[in-house]
Structure 1
Amino acid sequence: MEKKEWYLEYEIHKNRPGLLGDISSLLGMLSVNIIAINGVNDSRRGMLLLSDSKEQMEQIQEILNTIENITVTKLREPKLRDRLAVRHGRYIERDADEKNTFRFVRDELGLLVDFLAELLKKDGHKLIGVRGMPRVGKTESIVASSVCANKRWLFVSSTLLKQTVRKKLASDEYSLNNVFIIDGIVSIKRSDEQHWQLIREIMRIPATKIVEHPDIFVRQTEYTLEDFDYIIELRSDPDEEITYDLIEKEMDKSSDFSNFDF
């Protein structure tokens, strides 16, 4: 019988010496292989396991429920967030109301790049929005994730190196292996109908599209936030407010913002 991966997470109410060893020994006696272990927050530990059957894991859960000082909080086939939690030792914060919105702070760029790279590895259409204030690391994270996912990134609109507003693509740039990067502010403020025809054409390609500043992007287009499969928020610190007032004031004052860093 082929073994299957499982994610086990338990909360520790009182950490005593040898607790992890006892749980590991129990899993070993039941012929369950431990792939990885890590703390996933201050009081919880996560494990990636390899087991023969669901029944075996249910049996393990029953035994673990008899152990004092711990409570099993998750036992399931591992999701992407579970794998990354064990790998990085922390869970990705997810919006309680908007389930497709994930939040990161700047000191979690490694976790963000890993998460986004896993999304980029999946084939087919995906529309991803990235919110964040200037110089927080949005574009750099997108490029690094593309490299990790072995994808080629292509700027449709951007101010990273110089003002970019593409109106057409070369024939080899229509590859499904490309990640198409759109700066929502640049496309709204400094584009023409040819640029928007290109964006509509790109939207029909079954590949990944990433839009920086998606809230600005949807204001004057036929697209809505409901069209986005994922929204990623990146902040300098957890309390930072993402607002576009300052950016829009600077844009309104200048007819040339090619050096303005979004």
Structure 2
Amino acid sequence: MQLNEWYFEYEIQKNRPGLLGDISSLIGMLGINIMTINGVDTMKRGMLLGCERDDQANRLASILQTMDNITVVKFRKPTLRDLLAVRHGRYIQRDEDDKKTFRFVRDELGILVDFMAELFKQPGHKLIGIRGMPRVGKTESIVASSVCANKKWLFVSSTLIKQTLRNQLIKDEYSSDNVFIIDGILSHRKANEQHWQLVREIMALPSVKVIEHPDIFVRQTEYKIDDFDYIIELRNDDNEIIKYEMNDQMDLNNNPFKQFDF
């Protein structure tokens, strides 16, 4: 029988010996399986639970509310952030004002790869933008996520090894199972109309598209930042500012994007 998943997170108010054992025993007495457990903060723990019936979870939630030593923070069907939090022991940073923007630093590349891989596994159209300075690990993370998701990745424009700028794909490459990677800066600088026609064809596919430097990409196209399903920001550290030093009046082959030729 397939179990219904629930995510339970609680904050410890009084950390006495045997507290976790008491909670685990209660969950077991109600016939609920603990599938995963992990600390998600200094005084918080998260659990992924498996229930045969949702009324078991509802009964557990009502009992937990009466316990003095803990405060129930979350009790719900798990979101992707919940699954990754209990898997990695920390929550992904999310912009408070823009809920589709997620922030990572270079030390969290493992979590970033796991996060994107889960997004790649979801069927249908998905437009993902990723911001970051040169050599922070953007393209490598996209490729690694594609491997984890068992997806084939295709560079439409890229500077990972050498400058790649494609004007056409072969028939088999139009598969909706592929992950299409576009470097917004390279396409903005170097592309001709054939390349942009290809980009429009790819954007119409029910597949995953990952745009590096989405803010530059939208300058050249009819797309807007609001069209993106997710925006990922990757920094070397929390204090780094992602900045594009450019002057639109200057020759695009010279100074504006010179720092991004890597």
What TM-score does the superposition give when structure 2 sets the normalisation length?
0.94
Q: Which residue of 1 aligns with 2:46?
A: 46
Matches of 2:57 and 2:194 in 1, distance apart? 57
Work out the number of aligned pairs and report it: 261
Corresponding residue of 1:64: 64
Q: 1:196 to 1:79 in 2, by over 3 A?
A: same
**Offset at residue 53 of structure 1 (A):** 2.5
- For residues 258 and 39 of structure 1, do their structure 2 counterparts lie closer, same or farther at Cα, with a shift above 3 Å needed? closer
Percent of aligned pairs with the same residue? 65
Q: Secondary structure at the match of 1:217?
A: helix
In 2, Cα distance between equivalents of 1:105 and 1:16 = 35
Unaligned runs of 5+ in 1: none
Q: Distance in 1 between matches of 2:145 and 2:223?
A: 25
CA contact (8 A) 2:157 2:166 kept: yes
Paired position in structure 1 for 2:254: 253
Distance 1:2 1:177, change over 3 A: closer
1:6 aligned onto 2:6: yes
Q: Which residue of 2 aligns with 1:142?
A: 142
Letter in 1 for 2:105: V
Match of 2:189 in 1: 189
State the distance in 1 between where 2:111 and 2:131 align.
Answer: 16
* Alignment-derived partner of residue 158 in structure 1: 158
Residue 220 of structure 2 corresponds to residue 220 of structure 1: yes
Asked if 2 retains the 8 angstrom alpha-carbon contact of 1:162 and 1:259, the reply is no
Residue 179 to residue 51, structure 1, CA distance change in 2 (3 Å):
same
Please tell me whether the aligned partners of residues 188 and 220 of structure 1 are also in contact (alpha carbons under 8 angstroms): yes
2:90 aligns to what? Answer: 90
Instruction: Specify whether residues 238 and 247 from structure 1 end up closer, same or farther in structure 2 by C-alpha distance, changes over 3 A only.
Output: farther
| Partner deviation per Cα, 1:191-240 (whole Å, 9 max, x = no partner) | 11111011011111111110000001111211100111111111111121
Q: Distance in 1 between matches of 2:240 and 2:260?
A: 24
Counterpart of 1:129 in structure 2 is 129
Q: 2:134–2:260: 8 Å Cα contact kept in structure 1?
A: no
In the TM superposition, what is the alpha-carbon distance from 1:164 to its structure 2 partner? 0.9
Q: 2:63 is aligned with what amino acid? A: I
**Structure 2: distance between partners of 1:152 and 1:177:** 7
The letter for the 1-side match of 2:79 is K
Is the CA contact 1:40–1:85 (under 8 Å) kept in the aligned structure 2?
yes
Match of 1:116 in 2: 116
Q: Contact 1:162–1:258 at 8 Å: present in 2 too?
A: no
Aligned-pair CA distance for 1:251? 6.1
Q: Structure 1 pair 148/2, CA: closer, same or farther in 2 (3 Å)?
A: closer
| CA separation of 1:124 and 1:202: change in aligned 2, threshold 3 A | same
Gaps of 5+ in 2: none
- Counterpart CA distance in 1 for 2:235 and 2:253 is 24
- Report deviation, 1:255: 10
Distance of aligned partners of 1:108 and 1:73 in 2 relative to their CA distance in 1, 3 Å threshold: same
For 1:152 and 1:146, how far apart are their aligned partners in 2? 6
Q: Could you say what secondary structure the match of 2:223 adopts?
A: coil
